[in-house]
Structure 1
Amino acid sequence: MYYSIYNKTLKSRCIKRLKPKMNLKSELNDLEELTSNAKQIQDDMLEEILRVSANTEYLRPFLHGSSHKELFKKNVPVVTYEDVKPYIERVANGEPSDVISGEPITHFFRSSGTTGGKQKIFPVNNKYYQKRIFSEDLRCSILSKHINGVVDGKVIAFLNTRKLSRTPSGLPVGPVITSFLVSEYFKNWSSKRYTSPDEVISCTDSKQSTYCHFLCALVQREEVVSIFVPFACALVQAIKFLETHWKDLCNDIRSGHVSEWITDLGCRDSVSVMLGVPNPELADQIERECCRQTSWEGIITRLWPNIKFIHSVVTGQMSQFIPVLEFYSNKLPLVSMSYSASETLLGINVNPLCKPQDVSYTFLPNMSYFEFLPLDEGNNAEVVDLVDVKLGHFYDPLVTNHFGLYRYRMGDILQVTGFYNKTPQFRFVRRKDTVISVHVEKTTEEDIANAMNRVTAVLDSEGLILMGFTCKPDISTFPGHYVFYLELKAKNSDSIVKLDNSVMVKCCCVMEKSFNALYRKFRREYESIGALEIRVTKQGRFDSLMEYFISQGASASQYKTPLCIKSPQGLAILEDRVIAQFFSDKSPPL
């Protein structure tokens, strides 16, 4: 079987991870083979998964031990997390893996919970890491093909870990990124490509880790070619951190000693070695850049003169941060390379220098078995295979993996934008679920992203930057209405944010005009939705919100500001520092 042969090759390459450099030609050849043979690889993968897992307690009633694809498609139901949660929890509580998986479950991934409001756990084993290493190497090869000097330079990676918890049966549980970072696979793979030593990346204190990441990156500023952060919002948070701590960083570089408040011994010892002797000349250079202008526009390229791009997810809800990142980076390329989730790795961007709004992901057929539920054809639509999707159509992906998920509905909406060889490429549109509603209207992630993009343009013309936002439905009034919390900052770093009433009211109106026809109809004709409200918070509130969610178990590396905030404690953090309120003053046009 093609997939079995390929899987052995993948595994052997992961074991031999100590090679000094990746084989660019080999990795790109793998991409061509994968995408040219997608149907065979997918069929072989499904057969292998079913051969191993058909007799699990979950699959046995549907398959009766068979590994036939036709029986799988006919009998195994499409499911959501709530459907499989009882089975996952049984394994977590100590029952054998074969409740759901024919392969041993060795640990669990925990989703962040900041998007949907609830944390979930997903079973995995070391096969996930083998696949991740393969996709990471492929990503690096694609970047090297399009951008010169990527392999030879250093990457500032704003990564840190959380302490892993344990299930009642003793299996480790943690966020995807943390679990990967503490694995031997990562330690063998990273091979000093990052500016920070492993001790900084493995630090569980996000503040100490971020400070040390900056120290290491500034000391090696001439070698830096890129910045990597999983989600764009985390880079915005990091820049705000730098604005607060750059003087301390300069003092440490000038003296050659790490600040006393860095108490994590791994960080302290490893960064002290990197600092070496006092370097007042470098400290003066950094200080001049941070003080040179009243604005921090282009600060990233000024501090790291050889940087070529920023690697981070800037699609979906992260698109709101594109303007602020372009402001800080002098419009460096913003590269979204990968589409992944706690459930599986899905796709990769083979055209990394495209504009953020044009990003599409080529699915990798050796990651999981993929099916797609058409969203264009109504409730009676038949599920189709990866190679049978249609150009321009919208789908919800279903995942079958090696770890106990079978025909699992992701809840993402994707659109087919093209094909790479025989493998489809998808644009991430939004999460399937409605984000906010106060009547019978359904306002989605895409609706909100469009509205915030237009608001950002209004704010930009007034010299303001949107640093963060979230929303909530307010049904304490009649009619109910939408409330958006915004944190704003002046482009001129010495300026105080001045809130012009007419500008902020315009922002409210622009948002309402951006929403769907049903919202506008209920707002204008039936008056069953009230005027949209913007509440501006004091600067730093969204940092406090992030700190709260991290204290509740979210990973700093995977944190995403919730689009719609449901946590009473999180709402209290925002409400505690609301400095102004504004309402739309007219109904939106139909």
Structure 2
Amino acid sequence: MNFKAEIAKIFARVISKKESKWIQNPIETQQKIFDELITVGKNTAFGKDHNFKSIQNYEQFKQNVPVRDYEELKTYIERVVKGEENVLWKGKPIYLAKTSGTTSGSKYIPISKESMPNHINAARNALLGYINQTKKPDFVSGKMIFLQGSPELEEKNGIQQGRLSGIVAHFVPNYLQKNRMPTWETNCIEDWETKVDKIVDETLNENMTLISGIPPWLVMYFEKLIQKSGKKNIKEIFPNLQLMVTGGVNYNPYREKVKELMGEDLPVVQTYPASEGFIAYQNDIHDEGLLLLLNHGIFYEFIPTDEFFSENPTRISLKDVELNKDYVLILNTNAGLWSYNIGDTIRFVNLNPYKILVSGRIKHYTSAFGEHVIAHEVEEAMKRTIAKFPAQVSEFTVSPQVNPKQGLPYHEWLVEFALEPQNLEEFSHELNSNMRKLNTYYDDLISGNILRPLVISKVNKNGFNEYMKSQGKLGGQNKVPRLSNDRKIADVFYQLKLIK
């Protein structure tokens, strides 16, 4: 073990001991964050508009501050973007993270001087937690690749703007800069396919020990590496590769495909970063639950998903959450997002410590017949089905077919297989059976002959990449929604002739 690895091992032990203090006091930690946020928020335009000076507890906060999404908070954010101070948080944000909006073009998420360290420290602590648990720090001595957005920033009204992953690139410690790949110039390439090709060229003959990126990126990168090198798998190319770090989407649907490309089941640390804050990471390599970060400048609220669209949904703090129940995640951050609906749904898989899984997007669901199927259910159904068949799935999405040319309506699953099952009819039957077990409303609709069993439509190889390219969203943090409540995505697949 070299000097850098030895230092990392010691540092990991120190940080893990420090983290254990708030982990053991979750409710008190959240209360402290709440008090700190209200104290600062009192002196902002938002705080004055919502009478923060009268707020003494969470119940009063709920009465004063409604839940909002980006569109509903936009009037305040536009003032921030124009350079006005003390709008949502004290002073100006130091960055605006630019993300793709669905209805309003680009979204600008404020990152403050207080919130920026939480993004950096959480990513660091995820790796240190792995080191402390496994006592395997050697990867810090090799080359590390972070597949991310361009680090180029532009300044407007005294605030730097750019993609979150590009902003974070400016905070890589000096002692890791020599290990970091790809080069700065390559990271600045905007066209994703050109960028990945260049990354392949730069990394092919390097001693890669850690690779980080969202699963669809990793699959594309690995496939191009194997094609270029002529090797059988990634471990033949990078024999010293020790760890993968993923985020952005659930890793499980990609696990078997990545394992095949890798040549073995490499350790994976899953993370849950967002422009709004770094929310959770996997702190136990043997437990897929993600540790909810309670001391990172975010006070969390939760709304049961089955109540979210009702007139007066239940709105609770951490102390009242239940196991295995889906909640819409609501954030209050030290960058000035107040009761902000991030759009994600989560479920708690452990309450000591508090661990979550991301179960989907509140706007991404299928409920054309009242079934309200969410991402967790379709991903779990696919996972269970693949476990019984020699099959591999690269990507899939689900849309309702309300008006078929003949027969009853159904759910259409657009599936890109890496390894197609020998008997697709049996595979479909098993998938449908698993969906019925996971969603009682869906089961009732099948039993009542309102819906017929799901239909799988096979997507051409690289069809999902072609779809994303057609939408101008290949690469970056973009991904195809698991579910739709209409035919917009499915129709494009048919228009582009991406269905076999």
TM-score under structure 1 length normalisation: 0.71
Q: SS where residue 219 of structure 1 aligns?
A: coil
Q: Could you tell me which of 442, 462, 467 is aligned with 2:394?
A: 467
CA distance in 2, matches of 1:377, 1:476: 28
Residue aligning to 2:189: 203
1:445 CA displacement: 0.8
Bigger mean CA offset, 372-381 vs 128-137: 372-381
Residue aligning to 1:240: 223
Residue aligning to 2:301: 371
Residue aligning to 1:386: 318
- Taking a change above 3 Å as real, the CA distance of residues 567 and 441 of structure 1, as seen in their structure-2 partners, is closer
Q: Is the 8 A contact 2:30 2:294 kept in 1?
A: no
Residue aligning to 2:16: 28
Bigger mean CA offset, 517-526 vs 301-310: 517-526
CA distance in 1, matches of 2:424, 2:266: 30
Residue aligning to 1:547: 469
Q: Is the 8 A contact 2:44 2:90 kept in 1?
A: yes
1:165 CA displacement: 7.0
CA distance in 2, matches of 1:95, 1:157: 32
Q: SS where residue 481 of structure 2 aligns?
A: coil
Q: Is the 8 A contact 1:339 1:345 kept in 2?
A: yes
Identity over aligned pairs, percent? 19
Which amino acid is the alignment partner of residue 414 of structure 2? Answer: Y
CA distance in 2, matches of 1:451, 1:560: 20
Is 1:562 paired with 2:481? yes
- Taking a change above 3 Å as real, the CA distance of residues 301 and 408 of structure 1, as seen in their structure-2 partners, is same
1:87-486 equivalences under 5 Å are 87-92=76-81, 94=82, 96-112=84-100, 120-147=107-134, 148=136, 149-161=138-150, 171-181=159-169, 183=170, 185-186=171-172, 188=174, 190-220=176-206, 223-229=207-213, 231-244=214-227, 246=228, 286-287=229-230, 290=231, 296=232, 299-313=233-247, 316=250, 318-351=251-284, 353-354=285-286, 358-373=288-303, 383-386=315-318, 389-390=321-322, 394-419=326-351, 423-433=353-363, 435-457=365-387, 460-461=389-390, 464-477=391-404, 479-486=408-415
Q: Is the 8 A contact 1:157 1:195 kept in 2?
A: yes
**Superimposed CA distance per residue, residues 215-264 of structure 1 (whole angstroms, 9 cap, x where no aligned partner):** 332222xx3222211x21211122233354x0xxxxxxxxxxxxxxxxxx
Q: SS where residue 451 of structure 1 aligns?
A: helix
Q: Is the 8 A contact 2:118 2:277 kept in 1?
A: no
Residue aligning to 2:433: 513
Is 1:85 paired with 2:74? yes
Q: Is the 8 A contact 2:15 2:125 kept in 1?
A: yes
Residue aligning to 1:277: none
CA distance in 2, matches of 1:567, 1:517: 23
- Taking a change above 3 Å as real, the CA distance of residues 334 and 559 of structure 1, as seen in their structure-2 partners, is farther
1:455 CA displacement: 4.3
- Taking a change above 3 Å as real, the CA distance of residues 373 and 60 of structure 1, as seen in their structure-2 partners, is same
- Taking a change above 3 Å as real, the CA distance of residues 117 and 538 of structure 1, as seen in their structure-2 partners, is farther
CA distance in 2, matches of 1:377, 1:544: 37
Q: Is the 8 A contact 1:310 1:335 kept in 2?
A: yes
Q: Is the 8 A contact 1:545 1:570 kept in 2?
A: no
- Taking a change above 3 Å as real, the CA distance of residues 197 and 98 of structure 1, as seen in their structure-2 partners, is same
Q: SS where residue 307 of structure 1 aligns?
A: coil
1:162 CA displacement: 7.4
CA distance in 2, matches of 1:418, 1:429: 14
Q: SS where residue 58 of structure 1 aligns?
A: helix
CA distance in 2, matches of 1:153, 1:243: 20
CA distance in 2, matches of 1:347, 1:47: 21
Q: SS where residue 382 of structure 2 aligns?
A: helix
1:466 CA displacement: 1.9
CA distance in 1, matches of 2:456, 2:377: 17
Is 1:76 paired with 2:59? no
Q: SS where residue 364 of structure 1 aligns?
A: coil
**Superimposed CA distance per residue, residues 103-133 of structure 1 (whole angstroms, 9 cap, x where no aligned partner):** 313442234458x998643222343322122
Q: Is the 8 A contact 1:34 1:41 kept in 2?
A: yes
1:366 CA displacement: 2.6
1:324 CA displacement: 0.8
1:56-71 equivalences under 5 Å are 56-63=44-51, 65-66=53-54, 68-69=56-57, 71=60
- Taking a change above 3 Å as real, the CA distance of residues 118 and 466 of structure 1, as seen in their structure-2 partners, is farther
Which amino acid is the alignment partner of residue 543 of structure 1? Answer: N
1:321 CA displacement: 0.9
Q: Which has the larger radius of gyration?
A: 1
- Taking a change above 3 Å as real, the CA distance of residues 106 and 449 of structure 1, as seen in their structure-2 partners, is same
Tell me how large the CA RMSD over aligned residues is. Answer: 3.5
CA distance in 2, matches of 1:117, 1:240: 35
Residue aligning to 1:273: none
- Taking a change above 3 Å as real, the CA distance of residues 121 and 564 of structure 1, as seen in their structure-2 partners, is farther
**Superimposed CA distance per residue, residues 431-458 of structure 1 (whole angstroms, 9 cap, x where no aligned partner):** 3445123322221112211232244346
Gaps of 5+ in 1: 1-19, 247-285, 291-295, 491-496, 581-590
1:400 CA displacement: 0.9
Residue aligning to 2:3: none
Q: Is the 8 A contact 1:413 1:431 kept in 2?
A: yes
